[in-house]
Amino acid sequence: MEECKNEQLFSLDETMSKNLFTTFQYPWEVLSEIGNYILEIGPTLDREIFEQVDENVWIAKSAKVYPTASITGPCIIDEEAEIRHCAFIRGNAIVGKHAVVGNSTELKNVILFNHVQVPHYNYVGDSILGFYAHMGAGSITSNVKSDKSLVVIKNKIEEIHTNRKKVGAILGDHVEVGCNSVLNPGTVIGKNSNVYPLSSVRGVVPSNSIYKNGNEIVEKR
């Protein structure tokens, strides 16, 4: 499933976790290692740029964190990121440069590449969002299947068993997700693709596509 490999989805220079991605072929393989990676690199971060503000929480001095945000480690907030009022970061989270985590947005076991925006009422769990990916207001990742079975990544031809109960969504670079959409467990959206508002998305959406509904995915012109 070539289109789901890390190098096909992401600009790996646009995250401090590049070394973690180069260890694996597929992004869902990274999910179990996020916390350990933060604990490994956190103490090595430049103290001129980062400050350890709590146990296993490192925040860039140039980041803007509003006073009502809740941040639990392990967590790294990179330079110029903005963590807005009532954001809830539950641990195992890397927030990239210039990223926005909005009011009442919840993160858990995630990597947000540089310039990602999850600005309004989003839930992002067990997920990876590529460079400049954006989730519209109210859009969420669903990270557990209703029957609690292990998540399988599927396109029209192949399937890959993740051997994980929790896999949210993988968004490639420059993906745009419309407001109030649900990204079902194991959703993978290729680079430069758009999802219509109010969509329920599952499976693999090719790069450079527009997802209108499950039966209508068209190539961008």
Contacts of 221 (CB under 8 A, 6+ apart): none
SS3 state of residue 161: strand
For the full predicted model, state whether its pTM sits above 0.95.
yes
Which has the closest alpha carbon to 170: 137, 121, 126? Answer: 126
- For residue 196, give the DSSP letter: -
Quick one: pLDDT band at residue 27, thresholds 50, 70, 90? very high
pLDDT of residue 119: 97
In this model, does residue 221 exceed pLDDT 90?
no
- E strands, 19-174, where? 50-54, 57-60, 64-65, 70-71, 75-77, 82-83, 88-89, 93-95, 100-103, 106-112, 117-120, 123-129, 134-135, 140-141, 152-154, 159-161, 169-171
**What domains appear along the chain, each with residue ranges and CATH number?**
2-219 (2.160.10.10)
Q: Report pLDDT digits (tens) over 74-83.
A: 999 999 999 9
- For residue 206, give the DSSP letter: P
In this model, does residue 149 exceed pLDDT 90?
yes
Which has the closest alpha carbon to 86: 74, 100, 104? Answer: 104
Cβ-contact 37, 23 below 8 angstroms: no
Q: Report pLDDT digits (tens) over 158-210.
A: 999 999 999 999 999 999 999 999 999 999 999 999 999 999 999 999 999 99
Quick one: pLDDT band at residue 103, thresholds 50, 70, 90? very high
Quick one: pLDDT band at residue 156, thresholds 50, 70, 90? confident
* CA dihedral for 115, 72, 37, 142, sign (positive or negative): negative
Q: Tell me the C-alpha distance between 118 and 140, whole Å.
A: 9
